Amino acid sequence: MMKLETIQIEKIRPNAANIRTVADDDHIERLAGDIKTMGVQNPLRVYPDPDVDGDYRLQDGHRRRLAAIRANLSEVPCVVVDEPQTHELGDLDVMMTTGRNHKLLTVAEEAQAFQTMLDLGRSESTIGKKFKQPRSAVLAKARVTKAPEDIQKKYATGQLSIDALIELQKVEDAGDPEVTAQVHESLGGARWALDRDGMIRLIGSARGTVAKRREVQQLEAVGAKQGKYDIAYDGRHKQVTDELSDEEHAAAGHKFLVHDAGLEGGEVETKWFAPTSTPKVALTEAEKARKELLRALRGQLPVSAEVRHRHYIDRVQDRQAGGYPADLDMLRRLLEREVYSVPDEILVEVTGIPKGFEGDYYGHAKEWNAWRDRLEKKIQKFSWQQLVRLATLGEYWDAAEKPLAKPEGWQIRGERAHMRRIWQENVAAWFGHEWDSVEQQAMGVREPETEPASDADGGEDEAADDDAA
């Protein structure tokens, strides 16, 4: 039951479950000015307060109530509804829906609402369906309310996208506190917004840093010494390729360098170096810079490769990704490769470009290349529909279409049976050809697929005899 009433402001109590965590003073002041001029245009939504007889509890309109008080109003219009059966959950539902028609909730307010709903026993699936969000997003948003303050702030200010937040939480769930701490430390120094790809890069870098630190600690524990960054090209050391244990390297006085070499598992690569008996000529500054760049790239490119790979997979899975021109260009390139494997006789007929020689590439390389160049220029002007038809015709020509010139070709059997069946079942739909009466007769006399061919039935051998005659 719902009714419109004018109620004294002093009888309208704020709701403890209000998810509007921040009262924007400038916004309230502007709203108060509008109310002085035009009054309260959107009634507040209230219900009888279950704790104080005669008072009302506010469900929607906390900002309008504050603005009305500032505008010195003593009463405001209200929509009075029935008391919700589940007070806090019912109030939250209204605040999450009705409240959006006025000033949008901040991401922090939405996150707090989701967490409160979970605390009150509502499942993430129910919340997701009600507010049209994936279950993973509901859980991630709710969980951010319990994250460190700097993470909450980055999410609230848009520096962390929801997809980046999900990737971060995966790391936290993996159960490696050192990696998690390194990711948080790296996030603290980030001054740019992070989407999922950016977060994956940051996580990969953090895993590499931790793996490298652990390897260094392990090697130093057995007495090994770490070399300077330029030990690989300083002209005074050479790399040791002998298979030795860490302890044996340390005992021999070899120094080590550790590079992070992978994204997912934080893989590292350790190289050992020994002093050279005859010092090599030191590298120039330009050569040193190039070596240093290559060293850095070895650690960074695996991260880029993984991010790029995930991007490709996402684009393939996304029905709308790429756009028509890009997809058409890729389709054309794929089809053109198939087209050039079409039998020469078909290519000549379709394009009208004669070969001018007999045979294939071998023995006629110059003529063959010239003919192919002419073909390519012609075929590049074909529409993708023409390319599809030509490639399909070429695929089935030798195995399924060419044999149909003889009765035996209509028999769906042998090693090419599958292709023959597909061709005969689809040629009408693909090429719009209606089988004539002779072709229909040929279909009618074909043998059962499981019955082997026999000489008495006039099979392949009989046809060969006819051809010989």
Domain that holds residue 447: 325-468
- pLDDT of res. 459: 42
- pLDDT of res. 69: 92
- pLDDT of res. 97: 64
- pLDDT of res. 324: 73
- pLDDT of res. 72: 92
Do 237 and 152 belong to one domain? no
Do 273 and 376 belong to one domain? no
The mean of the pLDDT values for the chain is 82
User: Domain boundary residue among 136, 159, 182?
Assistant: 159
- pLDDT of res. 105: 72
235: left (phi over 0), alpha (psi -120 to 50) or beta: left
- pLDDT of res. 284: 87
Q: How many domains does the chain divide into?
A: 3
Cβ burial of 304 (10 Å; 0-12, 13-18, 19+) is middle
- pLDDT of res. 98: 56
Model's pTM, two decimal places?
Answer: 0.48
175: left (phi over 0), alpha (psi -120 to 50) or beta: left
Do 274 and 349 belong to one domain? no
Residue 346 within any structural domain of the chain: yes
- pLDDT of res. 104: 66
Do 27 and 137 belong to one domain? yes
Q: Residue 34: what residue type?
A: D
Do 290 and 270 belong to one domain? yes
Do 307 and 349 belong to one domain? no
Do 312 and 383 belong to one domain? no
- pLDDT of res. 455: 40
Q: In this structure, are strands 255-260 and 268-275 parallel, antiparallel, or unpaired?
A: antiparallel
All residues at 6 or more sequence positions from 102 whose CB lies less than 8 Å from its CB, including other chains: 42, 63, 64
In this prediction, the residues of the chain whose per-residue pLDDT falls under 70 are: 1, 20-24, 85-88, 91, 95-104, 261-266, 278-280, 321-323, 361, 446-469
Do 337 and 311 belong to one domain? no
